Structure 1
């Protein structure tokens, strides 16, 4: 317990605007038989759990396979652009990607819980801090800037069924974006 108290001042700056939960990360099921080639392309952020590394409106993510079989991740919005690399870490669970946005950080989890490839994707990531608490990240992505309310509702149900607290999830503004990007 003393170690936890000593680590809190170091960790607290990292969790500003994050979703902090007690206990270890949940381990939800991911998309079976995930097909990366059908997933690549442009996705728009519909809703997310707040993350300190991501703000603004008109946020989109573009995925492309590089010649070395890594995946280029290009996230952009009206306030920032970030380029990273994703990799499939285990071909037996291809929907569990690892993503990094710098050469100096390890790959963080980017798990595709569900996608139909043509309209919606449900994404989860979690950072475990000594199995005492964890930081949740969650996104609902769409191939269009707006999804039907029923589609968003079903995506949120998937998080809830997997015991992922999305009570802090916020919609991403996607109106008036075509003139910004």
Structure 2
């Protein structure tokens, strides 16, 4: 076997192992240890549009502003998820549509979400306002965290309260990106 062929095979093997590792990370649908999803949970009250107040950085949202998520119950019991945001690098709006399903009882805010076919990741509401005006969401591990709000801006006291809650759950709150909402989404 020639050296270039051997190098190509090794590169393919490394790429395949990397893909498997990424997909394995996306397949976790359980909440991280020590994080208990909200119960009781009412999907009818959670439905609708939420604005992303803060998030931990990941490539699929990097550089995005004006991010929102809209949740809509489907006839089969699943939830349609529509994420929209403004991509500052491309100077254009982007959207991604996905599907969420409860991982167990629908009264517990623990779901699995997929934007890529059969690959699901965890979506766990770890704290929720009694009036469903804000939510603290954690993914399959503590490197995924979102603070959502029904309004584009959180009151400073609520922002401090949610930051403290996230920190108590082991989230790196120093790494939170506070999302700006200055544009008008052309698709309300």
TM-score higher than 0.5 here? yes
Query: Max radius of gyration: which structure?
Result: 2
Change (3 A) 1:11 1:165: farther
1:42 aligned to which of 42, 49, 59 = 49
Q: Deviations over 1:121-156 (max 9, x none)?
A: 1100134xxxxxxx6110000001111111111111
Which is helix-richer, 1 or 2?
2
In the alignment, structure 1 segments of 5+ residues that lack a partner are 1-5, 16-24, 128-134
What is the CA–CA distance in structure 1 between the aligned matches of 2:158 and 2:54, rounded to whole Å?
12
2:152 aligned to which of 145, 149, 154 = 145
1:72 to 2:80 alignment: yes
What is the CA–CA distance in structure 2 between the aligned matches of 1:180 and 1:52, rounded to whole Å?
24
C-alpha displacement at 1:59, in angstroms?
0.4
C-alpha displacement at 1:158, in angstroms?
1.2
What is the CA–CA distance in structure 2 between the aligned matches of 1:73 and 1:169, rounded to whole Å?
22
Aligned residues: 158
Q: Deviations over 1:78-123 (max 9, x none)?
A: 1320000001111076211110002131x21100011124321110
The CA RMSD measured in Å over matched residues stands at 2.7
C-alpha contact (below 8 Å) 1:62/1:74 kept by paired residues: yes
C-alpha contact (below 8 Å) 1:73/1:84 kept by paired residues: yes
C-alpha displacement at 1:177, in angstroms?
3.1
Change (3 A) 1:93 1:35: closer
1:100 aligned to which of 114, 127, 131 = 114
